[in-house]
Amino acid sequence: MENFLTEQIKKSIDLKSSILEDKAMINQILEVSEKLIEAYRAGNKTLIAGNGGSAADAQHLAGEFVSKFYFDRPGLPSISLSTDTSVMTAIGNDYGFENLFARQVQANGVKGDFFIGLSTSGNSPNMLKALEECHKKEIMSFGLTGESGGKMAELCDYCIKVPSAETPRIQESHIMIGHLLCSIVEEAIFGSGF
C-alpha cells in the first residue's frame, strides 16, 4: 500500500516537472494568459466547461475568477457551464447531452468572450460542439487535454496537451495550469501589473 501511494505521488511530481521543463508549454500558458487578460480588460467574461471531474474543475476555476485567488479584488465575470442543473437537464432532455455546452455558449457567449474547455480525452462530443459554437460567435477558445489532444486540438484557438494518458494525472495538471492562469490574470489586472 505504501509503495502504491508513493508511486502515485511520484507520477504526479514527474508530470509537473516535465511541464516545468517544457519551455514551449510555459510560453503557451503565458500566451493564453495574455489573451485572457485582454478579454477581461475589454469587459468580456470566461465560459468554462468540463465533464465529470473536469466539470468540478470548471466550477473551481470560475469560483477563483469571480471571488478571488491570492488577494481581495473586484470579481471577474466567469460562468461554469456545468453547475445549473435546471439548464443542464432542460438541454439534455430537449436537445441531447451532446448540445449541453454549445447551447449555453449560444445563449450566454458574446464576441470577445473566452471559452475554457477541459477534457482529458479531447474527444467529448459536447465539448466539440461547444467549440464549433465558439467559432460561430467569435469567442476565443482554449482547451486543456491529455497528450493526444483528441479532436479538440484541431478546434481550439489554443490547446495545451498535458503529456500523460492517465486521467488523474491529467486533471491534477489541468487544475495547476488553471491556477497559473488565475494568478497571472489577477496580478496583471489588480496587482503590480508585471
Class of domain 2-190: alpha beta
Q: Decide if pLDDT at 57 tops 80.
A: yes
pLDDT tens digits, one per residue of 131-148: 999 999 999 999 999 999
pLDDT tens digits, one per residue of 148-170: 999 999 999 999 999 999 999 99
Would you state the pLDDT for residue 15? 97
Q: Decide if pLDDT at 192 tops 90.
A: no
User: What is the distance between the alpha carbons of residues 160 and 29, in angstroms, rounded to a whole number?
Assistant: 8
pLDDT tens digits, one per residue of 1-39: 999 999 999 999 999 999 999 999 999 999 999 999 999
Whole-number average pLDDT of the chain? 97
Q: Decide if pLDDT at 58 tops 80.
A: yes
Q: Where are the domains of the chain?
A: 2-190
**Strands across the sheet containing 158-161:** 78-80, 46-50, 114-118, 140-145, 158-161
Q: Decide if pLDDT at 193 tops 80.
A: no
Mean pLDDT of 163-184: 98
Cβ partners under 8 Å of residue 142, min gap 6: 32, 35, 36, 114, 115, 116, 117, 156, 157, 158, 159, 160
pTM listed for this prediction: 0.96
